[in-house]
Amino acid sequence: MNERLTAGGDLWLRPWAPDDLDAVLCAFTDPEMWRQSEEPVDTVPAAAAWIAARQRHWATGTGYSWAVLDARSVVLGCVEVGAVNRRHGCGWVSYWTTKAARGRGVATAACRTASDWALYDLGLHRLELGHRLNNPASCQVATRAGYRPEGVQRDKLRYDGRWYDVEIHARLVTDRGFAAAS
């Protein structure tokens, strides 16, 4: 199984490693990132636990998470195919980028690359992802990576005492002709 993936241009993906502690801690200092983890990632032990969880998922085949890096090996974000269900051939895709990487097509390239890998190399049939309705940038990433909107889940997520609707998107292995440009 290919663990290192080229995401076009000077971007590449590789599984998270213990050496990524500083990059994870730095990424999670951004208030926008606090929503990207069930537990706070604000200490070295918390960052180590976050990385270890991704390594466990990889080892058990329940999820595949990559650090997204540039040509200088600077971590720009994360893309993950999680909740992998082999019986039903499906998984859940998520992604985030560091503040410095936003708006540069990094999330789109990483999402498209990991999705292609999950559908064509891993052999899944369906991938899903969701984003808050008030996050149009994430919607653009999903659409540009070939995901089609399927509907809205009302009051799905709760942050800071407020409920948010979530739009669900999906991509099937049989989908063809999605917009590949970032």
Residue 164: predicted pLDDT: 96
Structure token digits, residue 78: 């994360």
Residue 106: predicted pLDDT: 98
Average pLDDT over residues 11-18: 97
Nearest-angstrom CA–CA distance, 24 and 16: 10
Residue 126: beta bridge partners?
90, 172
Q: Tell me the percentage of the chain whose pLDDT exceeds 90.
A: 86
The pTM for the full model equals 0.93
* Confidence band of 180 (pLDDT split at 50, 70, 90): very low
- Residue pair 60/83 in contact (Cβ under 8 Å)? The answer is no
Residue-averaged pLDDT of the chain: 93
Helix (H) or strand (E) segment spanning residue 60: helix 44-60
Structure token digits, residue 118: 């999950």
Nearest-angstrom CA–CA distance, 8 and 12: 7
Residue 33: predicted pLDDT: 86
- Residue pair 168/130 in contact (Cβ under 8 Å)? The answer is yes
Nearest-angstrom CA–CA distance, 75 and 110: 12
| Alpha helical stretches, state H, 65-135 | 106-116
Helix (H) or strand (E) segment spanning residue 153: strand 148-159
Length of the chain: 182
Residue 177: predicted pLDDT: 62
* Residue 83 confidence (pLDDT) above 90: yes
* Residue 179 confidence (pLDDT) above 80: no
* Confidence band of 77 (pLDDT split at 50, 70, 90): very high
Nearest-angstrom CA–CA distance, 100 and 98: 5
**110-166 residue pLDDT tens:** 999 999 999 999 999 999 999 999 999 999 999 999 999 999 999 999 988 999 999
